[in-house]
Amino acid sequence: MAQAIPIRKNSPLKASCHQCSLSNLCLPLAIEENELERLEDIVQQGRIFNRGEHIFDQSTPFRSCFAVKSGSIKTSIITEGGDEQVTGFFMPGELVGLDSMSGESYACTAKALERTSVCEFPIEKLEELTGKMPELQHHMYHLMSQEIQNSHQLAMLLSKNTAEERIAALLLSLSSRFQRRRLSPTNFSLPMARNDIANFLGLAVETVSRVFTRFQNQGLIRARGREVELLDVEALQTVTREFSRQGCQ
């Protein structure tokens, strides 16, 4: 695992949630301007991971949650059999590691899908802080609860929906998450490989590929490689009977 960049107080590197463009999506969202410094005091900002590097590994000691600053992360569980199950994709402003707060070790592995920078929240300090700041505690409950809901939505998607519905749902989920960050909701680049999509959605890679081309032939999307353009969002919403990962914040 990469080494943390040492942070000196008042250095240019000192954590600045104040100036972070994601402060309206991330933990700072929950707290007053004047209390922000207490959060800044515990966060280690600016750790960078290259594509493929692990932010943390399953079964290693659980120390911190991480907020994505830029780039993207995939989390996955590895079973004894060696099978991988992708449990989520995390974009800037989203918090990774909430599923690991029940034990002494990480419940999954987090891997950078591209060059990614994160803010690290050491768990003891975070717990201590949430104990003192009711709004922050409330926000943590909120985030964790949201994570449960997301996972339930995924379970529903996996158990009731066809391949087309699953993929449409994923595309729309990504779209809305790009939109939250004031990026184009119809024109973006998938951070993950077809393989990861397939694994996440419980499909074979071939099926994912087929559905992509089917959508393309129907004029719903245009895709070459990871570049995707949503041409008919309405139609995609129709394909997705009900699923919507309604904003992960």
- The residues that touch DNA, with contacts defined as CB under 7 A, are 162-164, 193-195, 202-210, 212-213, 223, 225-226
* Residue 205 binds which entry of DNA, a copy of itself, none, CB below 5-8 Å type-dependent: DNA
Give the Cβ contact number of residue 44 at 10 Å. 19
Nearer to a copy of itself among residue 13 and residue 123 (C-beta): 123
Q: Is 207 in the site for a copy of itself (CB under 8 A)?
A: no
Q: With b meaning 16 or more CB within 10 Å and e meaning fewer, what string describes 10-39? A: eeeeebebeebebbebbbbbbbeeebbeeb
Q: Is 242 in the site for a copy of itself (CB under 8 A)?
A: yes
* Residue 210 binds which entry of a copy of itself, DNA, none, CB below 5-8 Å type-dependent: DNA
Strands across the sheet containing 116-122? 44-49, 116-122, 64-70, 95-96
CA torsion 67-69-73-76 (nearest 10°) is: 0
At position 208, the amino acid (one-letter code) is V
Smallest distance, a copy of itself to C-beta of residue 127, A? 6
Which residues from 86-115 bind a copy of itself, rule CB under 8 A? 87, 98-103, 107-108
Smallest distance, a copy of itself to C-beta of residue 133, A? 9
DSSP class of 121: E
Q: Is 239 in the site for a copy of itself (CB under 8 A)?
A: no
Q: Is 158 in the site for a copy of itself (CB under 8 A)?
A: yes
> For a copy of itself, which residue of 115, 131, 189, 218 counts as binding (CB under 8 A)?
131
Nearer to a copy of itself among residue 1 and residue 148 (C-beta): 148
Each as own residue / partner, the long-range contacts of residues 233-239 (CB below 8 Å, 24 or more positions apart, any chain) are 233/172, 233/175, 233/185, 233/186, 236/168, 236/171, 236/172, 237/168, 237/172, 239/164, 239/165, 239/168
Smallest distance, DNA to C-beta of residue 171, A? 13
User: How many residues does the structure list for the chain?
Assistant: 249
At position 191, the amino acid (one-letter code) is P
Q: Is 156 in the site for a copy of itself (CB under 8 A)?
A: yes
Strands across the sheet containing 109-112? 54-56, 109-112, 73-78, 84-90
Nearer to a copy of itself among residue 74 and residue 188 (C-beta): 74
* Site residues for a copy of itself per CB under 8 A: 77, 79-81, 83, 85, 87, 98-103, 107-108, 127-128, 130-131, 134, 137-138, 140-149, 151-152, 154-156, 158-160, 201-202, 241-242
